[in-house]
Amino acid sequence: MVDTVETPIESLEYRTEVKQLLDILAHSLYTDREIFLRELISNASDALNRIQFEMLTNHDVVDPEAELAVTITVDEDARIITITDTGIGMNRDELVENLGTIAHSGARTFLQNAGQSQSTLEEIIGQFGVGFYSVFMVAEEVTVVSRSFRPQDRAAQWQSTGDSRFTLAEADKSTRGTEIRIRLKEDAAEFASTWRLESIIKRHSDYVSFPIYVKGKEGEPKVANRRTALWRQSPSKVEPAEYEEFYKQLTFDDAAPLLHVHMVADAPANVRSILFVPARRERSSLRLRPEYGLRLYSRKILIQEHNKELLPEYLRFIEGVVDSEDLPLNVSRETVQSNPVTRQLRKALTNRLLKDLKNLAEEDAARYTTFWSEFGVFIKEGVASDYANREALQELLRFHSTHTAADGWTTLKEYIARIQPDQKAIYYILGDSLKSAMHSPHLDYFRKHNIEVIFLTDFIDGYMVSQLREVEGKALQNVDAADLDLPKDAEETAESAAAVAQDAFEKLLTHIKQVLGERVRDVREGKTLVDSPARLVSPEDEYARELQYVRRVIEEGYVAPAKTLEINRRHPVIVNLARLVSEDAANPLIDPAVEQLFDNLQLLDGAYQGSVADMVERIQKLMDAALRH
């Protein structure tokens, strides 16, 4: 029995963003109103997990023998639902902190996006720390009475009608935990039904690991959820639909997972785990995930909500639960990381996950392509950072190349199988986009000789190849290198087809150096160019040029080192430019043409650092001259 003590009732006002949020929830967003129950049960489950963990080391708590459970009582005539838990409870200050304000980072973002989003309410409630307030979609009035687990704390009552204020008072509650009394709105009377509530629990909260009792105003309570920890069952006894249902309850994701990995093993460490690969990197356009990590249990007791040590960081997109009886129940959250069992679990889980991803790639190429499109960048991060698993991760890599269709993919193994007999390297090109890389002048020679080049267009690719130096004895080599090891007939072909006399060509090179100055390290003839007028190559002594792409992303104002400009003396643009320099050195089009040639190359390399306004003015000048002739 809960009674309010005869003490002054304190009336307080919500923070501004809470008022706005309550107005949205109460009057605007009526879709999926049933999720209010999911949110309140989730909060109750968290409170029960917390007291369960607390009592591992602390027995001086209120009601130490109380059953850990959630009880929902329905009074259909009065339109009242009462949700009670025996969890950790709250004192007065905690009620104000948890119910009088909103999770500080979430409220404003929710408000900015809720009115514009086409997503359902189910997709966004709970992602911004506003889950409790969803109760005002159905409630005329909400009364929360709570008693903390601390024996010295007094019980307190919080009450609100969803307007701009709430009240606080002391309460007479002898048992530990929280009681939420909801007086429903008339248009929400459907929820004052045990059958309706049981169906919601089956849909959203069936795997909550504590019993959820539902009872009417009269009658015996009935357990409404299965409670069975799915991860502790044999995989052969779990249906695909059960995995999907569990994943949605675990993550609140509306889409089915792309892959699940159910692992049950006793050696080298005891582990019961279900891991999920989501279908999308971001499960909602509004989703904010400041925390990642797996739920860690010991004998079904939640030890850690977001454990980041059970998988390498590059697998942070994985969702799931891990349960191990080898972890002591009294292990502190701070010492989980240093526990040797954690290292064994990490190795076992990582190996199994990478194995199942490889199987997916071999058995269902279409689904693996979906995975790669969403999460390939994480696998590349792993190749660069996880030496122990690099070989397994290499098999998961997929690339576009000059030998695949625009939407086709190749593996390193397939590339090596197609390699030419005298080819000594795996060639790649770095670029900001696939389209710009495909038009790069660096590819001239390779296209002419039918040598395959891999396209690397993710910002992390430079970091990956800086660590992955060779595969199966073949070195990885950037095609922008000045010291490419190519067949010897390249130079002879260039000389025999030369279209600009040596004297005129040398004058052109000198003039280009004067125009570009320190923006280029050198200007010289290019021996590998075929269809392009020029290219920018990295000097032989330049250190870690692959990391320039990463640095441009993460370092504001980063300026790449100057490169060497190579000129194709057979290309019509160069032929005509050399003629102008030799015959009409004062021609006002020469310098703009040189500048534009240089800027074009920077754009194709994804390294343009000049002024867009200057470029537009120059292009207009060149267009005007071209149209006059």
Mean pLDDT lowest for which of 60-74, 343-357, 524-538?
524-538
Of the pLDDT bands very low, low, confident and very high (cuts 50, 70, 90), residue 9 is confident
Distance CA 147, CA 314 (A): 42
CATH number of 489-627: 1.20.120.790
Name the residue ranges covered by the structural domains of the chain. 3-223, 230-371, 387-478, 489-627
Name residue 452's amino acid: E
Phi and psi, residue 500, nearest 5°: -115, 130
- 508-514 long-range Cβ contacts below 8 angstroms, 24+ apart: 508/567, 508/574, 508/577, 508/578, 508/581, 508/582, 509/567, 511/581, 511/585, 511/590, 511/594, 512/565, 512/567, 512/594
- Range 575-601 average pLDDT: 93
Strands 70-75, 563-567: pairing is unpaired
Fold of 387-478: Rossmann fold (3.40.50)
Is 489-627 in the same CATH topology as 387-478? no
Spatial CB neighbours of 437, under 8 Å, sequence gap ≥ 6? 429, 430, 431, 455, 456, 457
Per-residue model confidence (pLDDT) at position 571: 93
Q: By C-alpha distance, which of 250, 416, 298, 245 is closest to 52?
A: 298
Distance CA 415, CA 478 (A): 15
pLDDT in tens, 205-229: 887 889 999 999 888 899 999 878 8
77 burial via Cβ count (<10 Å: 0-12, 13-18, 19+):
exposed
* Residue 352: both structure tokens together: 């199994």
Q: Give kind and range of the element (H or E) at residue 212.
A: strand 212-215
Q: Which residue stretches of 425-501 are H helix? A: 434-438, 444-448, 461-467, 489-496
DSSP tally for the chain: helices H, then strands E: 20, 23
Q: Give kind and range of the element (H or E) at residue 223.
A: strand 222-223
Q: State whether residue 312 is helix, strand or coil.
A: coil
Of the pLDDT bands very low, low, confident and very high (cuts 50, 70, 90), residue 298 is confident
Q: What is the pTM of this model?
A: 0.72
Tell the CATH superfamily of the 3-223 domain.
Histidine kinase-like ATPase, C-terminal domain (3.30.565.10)
Spatial CB neighbours of 515, under 8 Å, sequence gap ≥ 6? 591, 594, 595
> Is the model's pLDDT at 129 over the cut of 60?
no
> Is the model's pLDDT at 52 over the cut of 90?
yes
Distance CA 107, CA 303 (A): 28
pLDDT in tens, 416-427: 999 988 888 999
Report the mean per-residue pLDDT for the chain. Answer: 85
- Range 190-216 average pLDDT: 91
Q: What is the number of other CB atoms lying within 10 angstroms of the CB of residue 185?
A: 18
Q: What is the number of other CB atoms lying within 10 angstroms of the CB of residue 310?
A: 27
Per cent of the chain over pLDDT 70 is: 84
Fold of 230-371: Ribosomal Protein S5; domain 2 (3.30.230)
Q: Which residue stretches of 28-171 are H helix? A: 35-54, 92-99, 106-114, 121-124
pLDDT in tens, 446-476: 999 999 999 999 988 988 998 998 999 999 9
Spatial CB neighbours of 600, under 8 Å, sequence gap ≥ 6? none
Place of tokens 């027995």: 59
- Asked whether the bond before 268 is cis by omega within 30 degrees of 0, the reply is yes
* Residue 61: both structure tokens together: 């708590």
385 burial via Cβ count (<10 Å: 0-12, 13-18, 19+):
middle
- Range 332-350 average pLDDT: 82
> Is the model's pLDDT at 544 over the cut of 70?
no
Whether the Cβ atoms of residue 217 and residue 72 lie closer than 8 Å to each other: no
Per-residue model confidence (pLDDT) at position 290: 52
Q: Give kind and range of the element (H or E) at residue 327.
A: none
